Amino acid sequence: MSEENVIDAIMDDLLTEESQLEQDHSSSEDESGEVVDARQKWAIFMRNQFSVRAEFPSTESILKANGRLNQEYFRPKVEPQQSEERAWTDVERDLLIQGIQQYGIGNWNDIRKELLNEWTSNDLRLKCIRLIGRQNLQLYKDWKGNADEIQQEYENNKRIGSKYGTWKQSVLVYDDDGKVEEELMAYHQK
């Protein structure tokens, strides 16, 4: 049977089913005993016609036996946990601090290429967030500091976070009232 004939046959079935559904305005029960009205019957019929395709075996589980959508089919597949993440060594931490001192915060590609090529730029950014103790690094764009200056920034961010209750998982986050941002701006104006 050609593709056009298949489409014509499906359209004929649809038109027949549609006219039957238009005539039947009353509700009825399906196999599971649930009440199904004409619109639901039509939707189930359409799903059966177009959702499950023989040429795509994965679509066989898209519908339940009663024609309703199988929600599990649409849920993202959970990937198994990858092996344990690699921890930062003291040497790598010192190299990152050296990179911040040499290239400045935000220049992750330069730091990665020259000093820490086994880590991604995003890994370096995240580690810097932990070193500085600040979720948002915008105020530090291109800032260069040594280990003592980085520790001083960490302590100040921790002090502000503790003061306003915004020290979360060893990182300063902004508050809704803008008090953290005001204090940070005042501190960085010094």
In this structure, are 47 and 103 located in the same domain?
no
- Summarised one tens digit per residue, pLDDT across range 22-32 is 555 445 555 55
How many distinct structural domains can be found in the chain? 2
In this structure, are 115 and 70 located in the same domain?
no
Q: How confident is the model at residue 148 (pLDDT cuts 50, 70, 90)?
A: very high
In this structure, are 98 and 173 located in the same domain?
yes
Last residue of a domain, one of 51, 76, 101: 76
The predicted structure's pLDDT at residue 47: 81
Residue 127 belongs to some domain of the structure: yes
In this structure, are 97 and 120 located in the same domain?
yes
Residue 57 belongs to some domain of the structure: yes
Residue 65 belongs to some domain of the structure: yes
Residue 185 belongs to some domain of the structure: yes
Q: How far is CA 159 from CA 91, 127, 149, 151, in A?
A: 28, 20, 15, 12
- In terms of residue numbers, what domain contains 120? 90-189
In this structure, are 98 and 176 located in the same domain?
yes
Can you give 101-162 as a three-state secondary structure string? HHHCCCCHHHHHHHCCCCCCHHHHHHHHHHHHCECCCHHHCCCCCCHHHHHHHHHHHHHHHH
State pTM to two decimals. Answer: 0.55
In this structure, are 94 and 185 located in the same domain?
yes
In this structure, are 147 and 116 located in the same domain?
yes
In this structure, are 182 and 111 located in the same domain?
yes
Q: Is the pLDDT of residue 109 over 90?
A: yes
Q: Is the pLDDT of residue 154 over 50?
A: yes
Residue 149 belongs to some domain of the structure: yes
Residue 27 belongs to some domain of the structure: no
